[in-house]
Amino acid sequence: MKKIILTGDRPTGRLHVGHFVGSLRRRVELQNSGEFDKIFVMIADAQALTDNADNPEKVRQNVIEVALDYLSAGLDPEKTTIFIQSQVPELCELAFYYMNLVTVSRVQRNPTVKTEIKMRNFEQSIPVGFFCYPVSQASDITAFKATTVPAGEDQAPMIELTREIVNRFNNTYGPTLVEPEILLPDNAVCMRLPGTDGKAKMSKSLGNCIYLSDTPKELKKKVNSMYTDPEHLTIDSPGHLEGNCPFIYLDAFSNDSHFAKYLPDYPNLQALKDHYTRGGLGDGTVKKLLINVLEETLAPIRERRKQFEQDIPAVYEILRKGSEEARAVAAQTLAEVRAAMKINYFDDAALIAEQAKKYSSNK
């Protein structure tokens, strides 16, 4: 069986370093591994509209931001099909059919949807479109017969639901769809990088993000104001690592070669952590190292972004081509789905012949 990747992001803001360690970095590695027959990365504007229906301009602006972030992080349109969800209307049709295979209570049990409903104060009145987005996500995945969905753990319930839909579909209408698997980040700290304030998740609304497109100055300022250990009052006092942002970020971003280069007194991160917990190491040293490490990672991304920003029409052209390509693939799956569901009246000669025969005796 072919190995196919489908994944994506809602275009509601620029991508930040949480996206980078949680998914983007991995996607680029997977793309360059040559292990996959096809890779689709989708800008999920239609899904973004399910909770931003009153703010289409925000979604529109962020489509290009996300595209620039993808390209500058190293997604290569020669190897990866980058497309815009709304430009593949076949996905809507698939979702409409899949809705018959899912119960309301099944969607209500989805923990990610539950949290989002709370966060958006939707408890009293949930838009139907928002409520159904997990079903539409099953269309996104199955339309491309994806076997692998690289995503964060918050997406696990969506992939689980997709698998259920695939099974129900195949059992009811005959084998048509492919069951996908989630591919989680391989490093536990990358699953959910905290915000710079130590809060559980980086989020635009909390103002605790480091963006891929931040300038060196912004980056430095954000690292220097990071949440560390509130009980670490003097350099000499023993520090705690739990919830300590600079250390968590170093876990996600640093390797031993960074130490040789920027802080040769320590062979590796463990040695730095040991010193910190013993006492005698100030937050400033840790933050300075982190700034160097982040700069090393982000500088090339920032540079590539500048290049792509020089030719925005070319970026839209990449998206247009990608969407066309994606549409052709989704249309093929949709044709198979329609045939399996017996709603392919006009391309089914056998059906017409059968009906004709049924009525021929009435003549």
CB of 59 to ligand TRP, least distance (A): 13
110 binds ligand TRP (CB under 6 A): no
**168: number of Cβ within 10 Å:** 15
10 binds ligand TRP (CB under 6 A): yes
Which of 113, 291 has the CB closer to ligand TRP?
113
Which of 83, 266 has the CB closer to ligand TRP?
83
**343: number of Cβ within 10 Å:** 10
- Using CB under 6 A as the binding rule, the residues of this chain from 114 to 153 that contact ligand TRP are 137, 140-141, 149, 151
Residues in contact with ligand TRP, total (CB under 6 A)?
13
87 binds ligand TRP (CB under 6 A): no
User: Counting beta carbons within 10 angstroms of the beta carbon of residue 179, is it exposed (0 to 12), middle (13 to 18) or buried (19 or more)?
Assistant: middle
178 binds ligand TRP (CB under 6 A): no
Which of 169, 247 has the CB closer to ligand TRP?
169
86 binds ligand TRP (CB under 6 A): no
80 binds ligand TRP (CB under 6 A): no
Which of 26, 287 has the CB closer to ligand TRP?
26
8 binds ligand TRP (CB under 6 A): yes
Which of 18, 246 has the CB closer to ligand TRP?
18
155 binds ligand TRP (CB under 6 A): yes
Long-range contacts of 159-168 (CB under 8 A, 24+ apart): 161/102, 161/106, 161/107, 161/110, 161/134, 161/135, 161/137, 162/137, 162/138, 164/101, 164/102, 164/106, 165/98, 165/101, 165/102, 165/135, 165/138, 166/138, 166/142, 168/101
Gyration radius from the chain CA atoms: 24
47 binds ligand TRP (CB under 6 A): yes
| Residue 161 near residue 110 (C-beta atoms within 8 A) | yes
Residue 4 makes CB contacts below 8 A (sequence gap 6+) with 36, 37, 38, 39, 40, 144, 145, 146, 147, 148, 178
75 binds ligand TRP (CB under 6 A): no
Which of 113, 245 has the CB closer to ligand TRP?
113
d(CA 318, CA 312): 10
7 binds ligand TRP (CB under 6 A): yes
Which of 142, 254 has the CB closer to ligand TRP?
142
Chain residue at closest Cβ approach to ligand TRP: 44
CB of 218 to ligand TRP, least distance (A): 24
72 binds ligand TRP (CB under 6 A): no
Which of 94, 151 has the CB closer to ligand TRP?
151
Angle at 24 between CA 18 and CA 27, to 5 degrees: 150
| Contact with ligand TRP (CB under 6 A) among 28, 41, 43, 44 | 44
| Contact with ligand TRP (CB under 6 A) among 5, 6, 41, 91 | 6
Residues that bind ligand TRP in the complex, under the rule CB under 6 A? 6-10, 44, 47, 137, 140-141, 149, 151, 155
